[in-house]
Amino acid sequence: MLKQLYLFVIGYLLCASPALADGIVKGYVLDEAEQPVIGANVYWEGTQKGTASDINGYFEIEQKENTRLTVSYIGYESSVTEVTDANAPLRIVLKGEIELEEVVISERRLGTIASRTSVLQTQKITYDEICRAACCNLAESFETNPSVDVSYADAATGARQIKLLGLSGTYVQMLTENYPNFRGAASLYGLDYVPGAWMESIQVSKGTSSVKNGYEALAGQINVEFKKPPTADIFSANAFLSDAGRYEGNADASWHINDKVSTGLLVHYSNDSEQHDGNGDGFLDMPLKEQVNLMNRWYHITNKYVAQYGARYLHENRTGGQLTKLPDPYQIKFRTNRVEGYTKHAYIIDPDQVESAALILSGSYHEQQSMYDRTPYNVYQNHVYASLLYEKEFTPMHSLSTGLSLNYDGFNENLVQSAQRQLYDRTEVVPGAYVQYTLNLNDKLILLTGIRADYSSLYDFFVTPRVHLKYNPTEWLHVRASAGKGFRTPNVLAENNYLLSSSRKMEIADNLDQEEAWNTGVNLSFYIPLFGKELTLNGEWYYTNFLKQVVVDMDSDPHAVRFYNLAGKSYSNSYQMEATYPFFRGFTLTAAYRYTDAQTDYMSAKGITRLKKPLVSDYKGLLTASYQTPLKKWQFDLTGQFNGGGRMPRPDQANPLWDNTFESHQVWNAQVTKYFRKWSVYVGAENMFNYTQPNPIVDAANPRDGNFDGTMVWGPVHGRKIYIGMRFNIQRL
């Protein structure tokens, strides 16, 4: 019964839905593509009293005797709205161009937006930015982003790994619509489970996050927002084809059943059916994949009540390893089924006090049946998340959030290794509570403090404190600082089973600790007027210090991978600088550089040795340029990634089959898009100079011998890919 229960539609609702208050007019400013207009001027007609829309297009303005509200923004027609009900949220849509006889004034919207108002350091990657690359899925959405790295975990399965602040993706909390998702069994391949055409935006936060979202974000947080029925296009479609044999189709539609109820359906199908072996080692450069992905969601909105419901189903087959034409090929096969459900409810208790409550529920069932050649590994996971939240703004200076949460994970895992079946079944239930206080001194100084207490059925009681500070000494300088603790439960096999694509033996110690770390960081943002435009500079430093950690040791034995509790020190220092400047109308250039120093103490027969983490580049540079012609007829995008060298796991000294270090390398991507009235066509190239890692698979000729290893991956495993695609949409007026 419990297993079936998880297959029902269950989930969460953002309590950040705007509360309505008498005397305060609130609403959103959008463009014709239903995207937020940031910094729009909102004021009462005939007065100079006004405000500006924020990163989400949201605004609040005090009710005046004048009932005509004017909204203006450069490159858009001004809008005048008659306000008859201060308690009803406004939705103001600006037309995108101003025509004066034969003169057209237009302004290009930014693709990646760094929030100037948020106390947390947050970047919003908009749908426009996502479309600058092929972006078949979430894994390919960060090619133009300097903060997030996505690389292949091995050269056989196609598993992707996020790296943020020099740490692997297991230390990054993954959210969809602000509820936890893609945990445990889904963490390795979850980036492939989110089609690019479904996404409205992605929010990336570094360092510790708010305690409202849980205790896990040790390095940062990534949240995906899907297209929403109230604002989504009536219909949109995307078709994609690459010379590597990948083809996919996406379609979504939304219906407004009445003024309170709307629904949306999203469909995805993709197929990688063509075998490629560019380096002639007998192994597929990319696994063969087929995926079906369906999602249905509902919105119900009244004056004081907002509810959402949704369900999703995914099925994927994946085959990697040697070419099928070889006799008795070494193959890795996966069969995955995943069901998710969610519901979100928010109720405004007192509009005058901006007081609201929300109930958040989500659940998923994930099954992965896999065969690493002759080694079977299966995992089944049930996950349930629940949260009850309460928020109140006592005054514009003081506000409080508090709530209760429950996190449930049930794992059934089995691995047959060396003819022995090993079971890793476990259940963890974590109830918790939090309180968070915000002090806001006229938006010049904001202090956000929070603490939560949780009880794990596996690890007992633990406390998570966090604090964030934002200070604006001037309009052109914003300073942010954060410090806080994070915890996470290690799921060793579920999160690292890609290591089975080698001859290494998995050695897992007993009684592994819950991981625990402090994260501190400082960010400086400069907004400098220069030649009539604005130069944006960002500098940051983040330090993550582990008190407890499960060490993944590939150094002490070249024929094994060991998992054990940290005995010593483990840390990561990450320094990054970024500059963005619009040199002329339609053209924007971004340059960034990041240096990473991540080190861990490893145990061996000779004692403890501190080493840099393997397969982590010492630095990364990014140069990305984008030009959009007037009236948005054409768009040209170019991105160069400059990846530094780093350390490899120690090879066998008696028979060294790989080097001690790996080399620096560059990867360039380009895309050209032609826009029409309701559709667009794009053509592009990934890895356009065809750089690939030499011999990504160790001893590929003998995959069943003791030296075979497909996990020594530090660079591209596939060469140049040429693709073409088409997007079509019918906008909602």
Half-sphere exposure of 41 (CA within 13 A, CB side): 14
CA-to-CA distance for 234 and 633, rounded, in angstroms? 23
Predicted pLDDT of residue 658 = 94
Whether 610 shows a pLDDT value over 80: the answer reads yes
User: If pLDDT is split at 50, 70 and 90, which confidence band does 86 have?
Assistant: low
Place of tokens 């189903």: 313
Average pLDDT over residues 300-327: 92
Angle 452-453-457 from CA coordinates, rounded to 5°: 140
b/e code 215-241 from CB counts within 10 Å (16+ = b): bbbbbbbbbbbbbbbebbbeebbbebe
Lowest mean pLDDT among 76-80, 304-308, 489-493, 596-600: 76-80
Predicted pLDDT of residue 104 = 41
Lowest mean pLDDT among 6-20, 145-159, 274-288, 525-539: 6-20
> What pTM did the predictor assign?
0.84
Strand 24-30, strand 90-93: pairing: parallel
- Main-chain dihedrals φ then ψ at residue 14, nearest 5 degrees: -60, 125
User: If pLDDT is split at 50, 70 and 90, which confidence band does 5 have?
Assistant: very low
Whether 644 shows a pLDDT value over 70: the answer reads yes
Whether 368 shows a pLDDT value over 80: the answer reads yes
Torsion of the alpha carbons at 322, 324, 327 and 330, rounded to the nearest 10: 30
Top-ranked range on mean pLDDT: pick from 9-13, 122-126, 325-329, 341-345: 341-345
Predicted pLDDT of residue 16 = 36
Residue-wise pLDDT tens digits, 702-712: 999 999 999 99
| CA-to-CA dists, residue 570 to 108, 324, 408, 613, angstroms | 44, 42, 29, 9
Q: State how far Cα 707 lies from the chain centre.
A: 35
Alpha carbon distance, N-terminus to C-terminus of the chain: 46
DSSP annotation of 512: P
Predicted pLDDT of residue 476 = 92
Residue 280 Rama label (left phi>0; alpha psi -120 to 50; beta) = left
Q: Provide the β-strand partners of residue 313.
A: 294, 339
User: If pLDDT is split at 50, 70 and 90, which confidence band does 96 have?
Assistant: low
User: If pLDDT is split at 50, 70 and 90, which confidence band does 700 have?
Assistant: very high
Predicted pLDDT of residue 55 = 65
Residue-wise pLDDT tens digits, 230-272: 989 999 999 999 998 999 999 999 999 998 999 999 999 999 9
CA-to-CA distance for 727 and 248, rounded, in angstroms? 12
**pLDDT above 70: percentage of residues in the chain:** 92
Tell me the two tokens of residue 665. Answer: 């390398």
Question: What is the chain's mean pLDDT, rounded?
Answer: 89
Tell me the two tokens of residue 279. Answer: 């380096």
**pLDDT above 90: percentage of residues in the chain:** 69
User: If pLDDT is split at 50, 70 and 90, which confidence band does 48 have?
Assistant: low
Write out the DSSP string of 1-68.
Answer: -HHHHTTS------TTSPP-BTTEEEEEEE-TTS-B-TT-EEEETTSS-EEE--TTSEEEEE--S--E
Residue-wise pLDDT tens digits, 664-696: 999 999 999 999 989 999 999 999 999 999 989
CA-to-CA distance for 218 and 448, rounded, in angstroms? 18
Q: Provide the β-strand partners of residue 516.
A: 487, 548
Residue 100 Rama label (left phi>0; alpha psi -120 to 50; beta) = beta
Predicted pLDDT of residue 13 = 36
Average pLDDT over residues 3-17: 34
Q: Provide the β-strand partners of residue 461.
A: 455
Q: What share of the chain is helix, strand, coil (3-state, %, to 5)?
A: 5, 60, 35
Place of tokens 């160790």: 698
More confident residue, 183 or 56: 183
Q: Is the dihedral of CA 74, 77, 81, 87 positive or negative?
A: negative
Segment holding 570, helix H or strand E? strand 570-584
- Main-chain dihedrals φ then ψ at residue 8, nearest 5 degrees: -80, 165
Q: Provide the β-strand partners of residue 397.
A: none
Question: Which residues lie closer than 8 Å to 229 by C-beta, 6 or more apart?
Answer: 254, 255, 256, 262, 263, 264, 297, 298, 299
| CA-to-CA dists, residue 456 to 429, 436, 514, angstroms | 6, 21, 10
Q: What is the CA radius of gyration of the chain?
A: 26
CA-to-CA distance for 66 and 80, rounded, in angstroms? 12
Whether 102 shows a pLDDT value over 80: the answer reads no
User: If pLDDT is split at 50, 70 and 90, which confidence band does 65 have?
Assistant: low
CA-to-CA distance for 391 and 354, rounded, in angstroms? 8
Predicted pLDDT of residue 366 = 97
Residue-wise pLDDT tens digits, 509-532: 999 999 999 999 999 999 999 988
Residue-wise pLDDT tens digits, 425-460: 999 999 999 999 999 998 899 999 999 999 999 999
Predicted pLDDT of residue 44 = 82
Write out the DSSP string of 303-370.
Answer: SSEEEEEEEEEEEEEEEEEB-TTSSS--EEEEEEEEEEEEEEEEEEEEGGGTEEEEEEEEEEEEEEEE
| CA-to-CA dists, residue 23 to 18, 60, 65, 161, 600, angstroms | 14, 10, 10, 49, 56
The sheet with strand 90-93 has its strands ordered as 58-62, 24-30, 90-93
Task: Please choose, from the candidates 712, 129, 182, 180, the residue with its C-alpha nearest in 3D space to the C-alpha of residue 405.
Answer: 180
User: Helix (H) and strand (E) counts for the chain?
Assistant: 3, 47
Q: Is the dihedral of CA 138, 140, 143, 144 positive or negative?
A: negative
Q: Which CATH superfamily is domain 113-730 in?
A: TonB-dependent receptor, beta-barrel domain (2.40.170.20)
